[in-house]
Amino acid sequence: MITDIRARQSGRWAGYATAACAFLFALTSFYWGFGGTFALDTVGREAVELIEAGDPGIYFAVWFAGFVKVAGGVVALALVQPWGRKRFPHWMLMLAGWGGAAALILYGAAQIGIQLLVRAGILVPPGDMDWRGFYGHLYLWAPWFVVWGVLMAITAFHYTRGRSAQVAESVG
């Protein structure tokens, strides 16, 4: 029991950092969902045009993305808070934590990788390339996904380690 408590406490910082990252990320989506346009051009010219035109599809997309990001923050908190272990089965927390970490890291890393291939001249961009959106993804959004994913992986690791210690103590 003491090992379990120590493992959970040592990973709690990561869970809170992961949740903060997710909730801050969600705030940008909700801001854009309310019609804000500041920094939207870092996502892409088309997003700005759709928001300015009042296209319902873009509003659905940014609100949906915002709620998914909030869910990611809730998963991080569930991994480090007692209510998470009471409310969700172990397998669900493991799947959400590790699956979320893998998806976030792979998504962000793939974007960065492709964009670096463009910067290196290996891939040729279209002539009408939206460079503001390109650099927004390369330097802001894609790295944020990677950082969020790494934090989620650290959180999931501490949850897994604490759970393993708990199982070992109950067996032994």
* Measured distance CA(153)–CA(172) in Å, rounded: 28
Say which residue the tokens 């910067």 belong to: 119
pLDDT digits (tens, 9 = 90+) for 64-111: 999 999 999 999 999 999 999 999 999 999 999 999 999 999 999 999
What are the residue ranges of helices labelled H in the chain? Answer: 2-33, 45-53, 56-80, 82-87, 90-119, 131-136, 142-171
* Measured distance CA(25)–CA(65) in Å, rounded: 9
Q: In the prediction, which pLDDT does 7 show?
A: 53
Determine the average pLDDT of the residues in 133-137.
96
Say which residue the tokens 């408590």 belong to: 5
Q: In the prediction, which pLDDT does 168 show?
A: 43
Is pLDDT of 6 > 80? no
* Measured distance CA(29)–CA(35) in Å, rounded: 10
